[in-house]
A and B are shown apart, each in its own frame.
Chain A
């Protein structure tokens, strides 16, 4: 009963949230338009409706989480995104893995932001919240899941499996069928980044609405300049959160996703990168709005553009239109038209409002001076916008093709083969432009400038830049001209902003946000240039061999093959593949698969040996361990010539329904990262199982020498045992263990196969040495001859194919991102204080 109730409760909450969003949008609208005397009443009413809306949204979230947490697999959402074995933190992430859940997350953040606006504003409340709740109504409609006149509006997370898959034959047989387990979370997403990256990104999405709502409110109520002050800290906050969200995605891609790098100019990445650039441009023009009318109009256009681009990117990534042009998998949601309506409405509203107010926007007569800060800010904003324009254009090719096909023209433009170098060759020059402008522009910001003063201010930074760049160039031997320019301009912006920062130390630290953030940008540019431009495959196999008689050229192989426990030279390292490992609950680090025995339950394995950590036995032989069978780690030992060594554990995840996913092992050092990932490992799937072939049967007596697959072996002893790991022995049961010494090529090892009589039936527990590809079963005891029979099985040797890449100076990039974020925080603090001061004076 409860199980069906919870879905209905959720669905009712969605309807309630939708209706209350509309009502409060209307009520806030009334609170702006009615005569002053009635304003208070409408505002109070609107606020209380908004809080009802907030409660409804929270109820939706709670209902969906109960469904996921309790494994109610009759609900499509729980079945398709979760499974019984998912730990709690991944249950939270499957909450937003699906389309509906991610809209819900977005809706939730907007409720939080709406609450903050209501509690920090006085004058702006009503008009801002009216826009705000209107957008909220559109968003909630995305998860409505109602069919009106044959038009499906939104898709609800509370749909039952039998309704979502009405055609599945199983429901004809049994309409009350409930799957026992869900499909589970995509292994790519089983990562802590999946827990924190989407909420950050969606908070970023949600925050772009705030400056937009202020801008609309300003245009609507005729306060054409005043909206900027309260909107500015929000624009900064939004840029910071969205930026952090994007960078988290980049770091996640680098650390886990094995796309080979942190940025791939994939449409999904571009769809967030472009609005972010425009958003950054918008707050730059916003800080100069008082001096220049151009900056004011530009601010309005850019704030609107940011929000529209966010809606557009939602359309791109969720309508399925990108289908073929991205490595991300998109599912068509059937919400295309709805998203398009959303997009057009939020282009139309600002255009109408702006046209209405266009004549009232103040125009400054004065010509803009090259020595004014407005000029430099404007140049910077223009560069950022063009930078975004260059990216959004090719990203939109699929939309273009679709549009052309609608008017009957066949168009099949595609992004060039190598999209990374394609975008980079353009973006690189914009990067140089941004660095030069942010280094120089800062001087105009803090002082009145003329030519003489400018020369004076720039001389020092330019000299230092040249000296530092020359040193770096000599040391790193960079010779490609565009990279040299990136380096020089990056160093320049670091040095120039460093000088500004130094000058500011006598004033207030509160003013230093811009300088710190720009230093971060400079470092990011330099870090990106090194780590991407000079990323080097070191597993290169310069065999110099013609691969095939059919090919002209020698082709370098980028991978090496490592057989288990056979060392191999690569670059300056000697590599050794040391076997497969797995994570077990309650054990730090990794446990060798070899000392574990599988059971019928794939999530519980038995330890065959004691497991020690820090000289303490954490698990005894025979203990059952809770493991994650989907993640296999491959231990790779790197030994340097000078004797230093380290291990990496690249990973392969296997999931029956989703295939294999490889994640790298990364060795981090100050000057470079060593990135290792597996291209292939055998025996990972059901079709590709290790095959044991019966090679030989032999009869031996104690002390006798024999051969196991060409290795010399001696049967040392046979003894009765009273305990076996994972097996309970009764009184009548007998277990006998043989001990066989095997001399392998590297070391001497022991095999301990067991012969067992349990419940009056004979059984065997074989023992093997994976390195040698052998396994021995104790098959018979012959009391009359005092001899023992053994069956010998052999298999192929384990190996991995691996690729290793060096990424120099990537840490400069990460340090730069941290500085950027820190700069943002300082700037937000400053702008928020300004807003609070003016609000409390009643000028807001």
Chain B
């Protein structure tokens, strides 16, 4: 076998290794129910949960509590199975938090509270101009 063939095989092997290991590491979005189950069997892996903020019938956000010193806050999130969960975040509230349409939290359970390491917000067309605001004319 030629040396260049061996080299080729090695490269292909590494490429396959990359595919397998990236696929193995790929995390998918889960619900709070699944996250809880994972935590209960001792799986402390960081997970993504997608959901929305809890809102009352008039669309006001409910359950947001900022700490007295404003350095942390917690909120209630509703996942795709409509399960409500208290989420704690050890950072001040992000600026557009209350306006968000969708929230992705990344973190793990700590007792009954979900502690987020990171929060990603999807805000309604922040940089798009879907509507014209007319203040003066």
Contacts and interface: CB of A to CB of B under 8 A. Distances in A.
Interface of A: 79-80, 161, 165, 168, 170, 177, 179-180, 183, 186, 294, 324, 327, 329, 331, 367-368, 370, 378-379, 382, 386, 389-390, 393-394, 397, 412-418, 422, 426, 541, 547-548, 550-553, 555-561, 657-660, 679-680, 801
A45 B131 CA distance: 48
A557 B72 contact: yes
B57 interface: no
A417 B106 contact: yes
Given A327-B120, A417-B46, A550 B71 contact: no
Nearest to B108: A417
Interface string B28-66: 110000000000000000111000000000000000000
A417 B18 contact: no
A168 B131 CA distance: 7
Contacts of B72: 547, 555, 557
Interface of B: 2-4, 7, 11, 14-15, 18-19, 21-23, 25-29, 46-48, 67, 69-72, 74, 86, 88, 90-93, 95-96, 99, 104, 106-107, 110-113, 115, 117-118, 120, 122-123, 126-129, 131-134, 136-137
Contacts of B11: 382, 386
A680 B70 contact: yes
Contacts of B71: 541, 557, 559-561, 801
B110 A180 contact: no
B48 A558 contact: no
B69 A412 contact: no
A671 B88 CA distance: 36
Contacts of B117: 417-418
B95 A680 contact: yes
B3 A179 contact: no
A561 B129 CA distance: 35
Nearest to B128: A331
A170 B137 CA distance: 11
A183 B47 CA distance: 38
B113 A551 contact: yes
Contact of A393 (B18, B96, B118): B18
A30 B27 CA distance: 53
B69 A561 contact: yes
A80 B28 contact: no
A412 B29 contact: yes
A271 B46 CA distance: 26
B19 A393 contact: yes
Contact of A414 (B7, B48, B74, B113): B48
Contacts of B126: 329, 658-659
B91 A550 contact: no
B69 A390 contact: no
9 contacts: A161-B132, A170-B137, A179-B134, A180-B137, A390-B18, A417-B27, A660-B95, A680-B70, A801-B71
A679 B91 contact: yes
Nearest to A390: B18
A261 B110 CA distance: 28
Nearest to B127: A329
Contacts of B69: 561
Given A367-B4, A801-B71, A558 B26 contact: no
Contacts of A561: 69-71
Given A386-B14, A417-B48, A418-B106, 14 more contacts: A168-B131, A179-B137, A382-B7, A382-B11, A414-B28, A414-B48, A416-B25, A417-B106, A548-B88, A548-B113, A550-B113, A555-B90, A659-B95, A680-B70
Contacts of B70: 561, 680, 801
Contacts of A551: 88, 110-111, 113, 115
A551 B74 CA distance: 12
Contacts of A368: 3-4
B126 to A, nearest CB: 6
A560 B106 CA distance: 23
Q: 9 tightest A-B contacts by CB?
A: A417-B106, A417-B46, A679-B92, A413-B26, A680-B92, A329-B127, A660-B95, A416-B27, A390-B18
